[in-house]
Amino acid sequence: MKKIFFLLLLALVFTSCGASKKVEKKPSWIQDKVVVGDNSKVSAVGVSSSMGNEGRSWEMAEKDALRKISLVIQVYQDSFQQSFMNVTNTTLQQRIFQMSSSVSSAHLSSLKTIKQWKDSKKDNYYVLVEADLGAIKKGVAKKIEQEIEPEEQQNAIEALEKRSEDAHARLKEKMKDLKWE
Protein backbone atom coordinates (compact mmCIF):
# COMPACT_ATOMS: atom_id res chain seq x y z
CA MET A 1 0.00 0.00 0.00
CA LYS A 2 2.85 2.34 0.85
CA LYS A 3 4.43 1.62 -2.57
CA ILE A 4 1.21 2.51 -4.41
CA PHE A 5 0.80 5.69 -2.37
CA PHE A 6 4.45 6.59 -2.98
CA LEU A 7 4.10 5.94 -6.76
CA LEU A 8 0.93 8.05 -6.94
CA LEU A 9 2.60 10.84 -5.03
CA LEU A 10 5.65 10.63 -7.30
CA ALA A 11 3.46 10.68 -10.43
CA LEU A 12 1.56 13.69 -9.08
CA VAL A 13 4.82 15.56 -8.42
CA PHE A 14 6.14 14.86 -11.93
CA THR A 15 2.92 15.88 -13.66
CA SER A 16 2.64 19.08 -11.64
CA CYS A 17 6.25 19.98 -12.45
CA GLY A 18 5.63 19.37 -16.12
CA ALA A 19 2.43 21.40 -16.07
CA SER A 20 4.09 24.38 -14.41
CA LYS A 21 6.79 24.58 -17.05
CA LYS A 22 5.36 27.08 -19.52
CA VAL A 23 6.49 26.72 -23.11
CA GLU A 24 6.83 30.09 -24.77
CA LYS A 25 5.41 30.06 -28.26
CA LYS A 26 6.48 32.72 -30.74
CA PRO A 27 3.42 34.54 -32.17
CA SER A 28 3.06 34.45 -35.95
CA TRP A 29 2.73 38.25 -36.25
CA ILE A 30 6.38 38.88 -35.35
CA GLN A 31 7.60 37.19 -38.55
CA ASP A 32 6.76 40.11 -40.87
CA LYS A 33 8.48 43.44 -40.42
CA VAL A 34 5.81 45.33 -42.38
CA VAL A 35 2.61 44.14 -44.03
CA VAL A 36 0.55 46.20 -46.48
CA GLY A 37 -2.84 44.56 -46.70
CA ASP A 38 -5.37 44.77 -49.50
CA ASN A 39 -7.86 46.34 -47.09
CA SER A 40 -5.73 49.50 -46.60
CA LYS A 41 -4.36 48.29 -43.27
CA VAL A 42 -0.61 48.54 -42.73
CA SER A 43 1.10 46.90 -39.79
CA ALA A 44 4.69 47.03 -38.60
CA VAL A 45 6.60 45.07 -36.01
CA GLY A 46 9.17 46.86 -33.91
CA VAL A 47 11.95 45.00 -32.12
CA SER A 48 14.24 45.93 -29.27
CA SER A 49 16.76 43.98 -27.28
CA SER A 50 16.72 44.46 -23.53
CA MET A 51 17.73 47.95 -22.49
CA GLY A 52 18.15 46.94 -18.84
CA ASN A 53 14.78 48.47 -18.03
CA GLU A 54 11.63 46.72 -19.24
CA GLY A 55 9.68 49.95 -19.79
CA ARG A 56 12.52 51.40 -21.86
CA SER A 57 12.77 48.17 -23.89
CA TRP A 58 9.05 48.28 -24.75
CA GLU A 59 9.38 51.96 -25.66
CA MET A 60 12.31 51.29 -28.01
CA ALA A 61 10.42 48.43 -29.72
CA GLU A 62 7.43 50.73 -30.18
CA LYS A 63 9.64 53.48 -31.63
CA ASP A 64 11.08 50.96 -34.10
CA ALA A 65 7.55 50.00 -35.23
CA LEU A 66 6.54 53.67 -35.52
CA ARG A 67 9.65 54.38 -37.60
CA LYS A 68 8.61 51.64 -40.01
CA ILE A 69 5.00 52.87 -40.17
CA SER A 70 6.29 56.42 -40.77
CA LEU A 71 8.33 55.17 -43.70
CA VAL A 72 5.29 53.39 -45.14
CA ILE A 73 3.14 56.52 -44.82
CA GLN A 74 5.90 58.59 -46.46
CA VAL A 75 6.07 56.14 -49.36
CA TYR A 76 2.25 56.29 -49.58
CA GLN A 77 2.37 60.10 -49.66
CA ASP A 78 5.07 60.03 -52.36
CA SER A 79 2.97 57.58 -54.38
CA PHE A 80 -0.08 59.78 -53.84
CA GLN A 81 1.84 62.82 -55.10
CA GLN A 82 3.12 60.94 -58.16
CA SER A 83 -0.41 59.96 -59.09
CA PHE A 84 -1.34 63.68 -59.19
CA MET A 85 1.49 64.72 -61.52
CA ASN A 86 -0.33 64.10 -64.82
CA VAL A 87 -3.62 65.77 -63.87
CA THR A 88 -4.88 68.88 -65.65
CA ASN A 89 -6.66 70.65 -62.77
CA THR A 90 -3.48 71.19 -60.79
CA THR A 91 -4.84 73.72 -58.28
CA LEU A 92 -7.54 71.37 -57.03
CA GLN A 93 -5.19 68.39 -57.09
CA GLN A 94 -2.51 70.28 -55.17
CA ARG A 95 -5.02 71.25 -52.49
CA ILE A 96 -6.07 67.60 -52.13
CA PHE A 97 -2.45 66.54 -51.84
CA GLN A 98 -1.78 69.16 -49.15
CA MET A 99 -4.84 67.96 -47.24
CA SER A 100 -3.58 64.40 -47.51
CA SER A 101 -0.19 65.39 -46.11
CA SER A 102 -1.67 67.13 -43.09
CA VAL A 103 -4.15 64.32 -42.39
CA SER A 104 -1.34 61.73 -42.68
CA SER A 105 0.76 63.62 -40.13
CA ALA A 106 -2.17 63.82 -37.72
CA HIS A 107 -2.94 60.13 -38.21
CA LEU A 108 0.68 59.17 -37.55
CA SER A 109 0.69 60.90 -34.18
CA SER A 110 -2.35 58.88 -33.02
CA LEU A 111 -1.13 55.34 -33.78
CA LYS A 112 -1.38 52.80 -31.00
CA THR A 113 0.28 49.53 -30.13
CA ILE A 114 -1.94 46.52 -30.85
CA LYS A 115 0.12 43.63 -29.50
CA GLN A 116 3.29 43.03 -27.51
CA TRP A 117 5.40 39.96 -26.91
CA LYS A 118 8.63 39.34 -25.03
CA ASP A 119 10.99 36.57 -26.07
CA SER A 120 12.41 35.63 -22.66
CA LYS A 121 15.06 33.35 -24.12
CA LYS A 122 16.62 36.01 -26.35
CA ASP A 123 15.50 38.92 -24.15
CA ASN A 124 13.91 40.67 -27.16
CA TYR A 125 10.77 42.80 -27.11
CA TYR A 126 8.29 42.87 -30.02
CA VAL A 127 5.53 45.41 -30.63
CA LEU A 128 2.87 45.41 -33.37
CA VAL A 129 1.53 48.78 -34.55
CA GLU A 130 -1.18 49.21 -37.18
CA ALA A 131 -2.16 52.13 -39.41
CA ASP A 132 -5.25 52.47 -41.55
CA LEU A 133 -4.58 54.23 -44.85
CA GLY A 134 -8.35 54.24 -45.36
CA ALA A 135 -8.66 56.51 -42.31
CA ILE A 136 -6.28 58.94 -44.01
CA LYS A 137 -8.48 58.91 -47.11
CA LYS A 138 -11.62 59.47 -44.99
CA GLY A 139 -9.90 62.37 -43.24
CA VAL A 140 -9.05 63.96 -46.59
CA ALA A 141 -12.64 63.46 -47.80
CA LYS A 142 -13.90 65.25 -44.69
CA LYS A 143 -11.46 68.14 -45.32
CA ILE A 144 -12.66 68.31 -48.95
CA GLU A 145 -16.24 68.75 -47.71
CA GLN A 146 -15.09 71.51 -45.35
CA GLU A 147 -12.65 73.39 -47.57
CA ILE A 148 -13.49 72.85 -51.25
CA GLU A 149 -16.26 74.78 -52.92
CA PRO A 150 -19.48 72.73 -53.33
CA GLU A 151 -19.31 72.77 -57.14
CA GLU A 152 -15.82 71.18 -57.05
CA GLN A 153 -16.41 68.68 -54.25
CA GLN A 154 -17.60 65.80 -56.45
CA ASN A 155 -14.58 66.14 -58.76
CA ALA A 156 -12.31 66.32 -55.73
CA ILE A 157 -13.82 63.18 -54.16
CA GLU A 158 -13.50 61.28 -57.46
CA ALA A 159 -9.88 62.42 -57.81
CA LEU A 160 -9.19 61.35 -54.23
CA GLU A 161 -10.65 57.87 -54.86
CA LYS A 162 -8.64 57.37 -58.05
CA ARG A 163 -5.40 58.74 -56.62
CA SER A 164 -5.78 56.69 -53.43
CA GLU A 165 -6.16 53.46 -55.43
CA ASP A 166 -3.12 54.36 -57.56
CA ALA A 167 -1.08 55.26 -54.47
CA HIS A 168 -2.02 52.01 -52.70
CA ALA A 169 -0.95 49.97 -55.74
CA ARG A 170 2.34 51.89 -55.99
CA LEU A 171 2.92 51.49 -52.27
CA LYS A 172 2.56 47.70 -52.44
CA GLU A 173 5.05 47.64 -55.33
CA LYS A 174 7.58 49.91 -53.61
CA MET A 175 7.39 47.99 -50.34
CA LYS A 176 9.18 45.06 -51.97
CA ASP A 177 12.33 47.18 -52.37
CA LEU A 178 12.52 48.81 -48.93
CA LYS A 179 15.25 47.80 -46.50
CA TRP A 180 14.08 47.61 -42.89
CA GLU A 181 17.30 47.11 -40.94
Domain boundaries, the chain: 31-175
Determine the angle formed by the axes of helices 54-84 and 133-147, rounding to 10 degrees: 50
Instruction: Give dist(CA 131, CA 114) in Å, integer.
Output: 10
Amino acid (one-letter) located at 161? E
pLDDT by position in tens, the chain (length 181): 555 444 444 443 444 444 334 446 889 988 878 887 766 788 889 999 998 899 999 999 999 998 888 888 888 777 777 766 655 456 777 777 777 777 777 777 668 789 999 999 999 999 999 888 888 888 888 888 888 888 888 888 888 888 788 777 777 777 777 665 5
pLDDT of the residue at 27: 92
* CA-based nearest residue to 163, from 85, 89, 71, 75: 85
Contacts of 54 (CB under 8 A, 6+ apart): 125
Report the alpha-carbon distance of residue 118 to residue 36 in Å, rounded: 24
Provide the whole-model pTM.
0.71
Q: Are 66 and 46 in contact (CB under 8 A)?
A: yes
Taking the CA of residue 30 as centre, how many other CA atoms within 13 Å lie in the half-sphere pointing to its CB? 17
Instruction: Give pLDDT, residue 125.
Output: 95
Q: Which value, in Å, is the radius of gyration of the alpha carbons in the chain?
A: 25
DSSP string, 4-60: HHHHHHHHHHHHHHHHHSPPP---GGGG-SEEE-TTSEEEEEEEEE--SSHHHHHHH
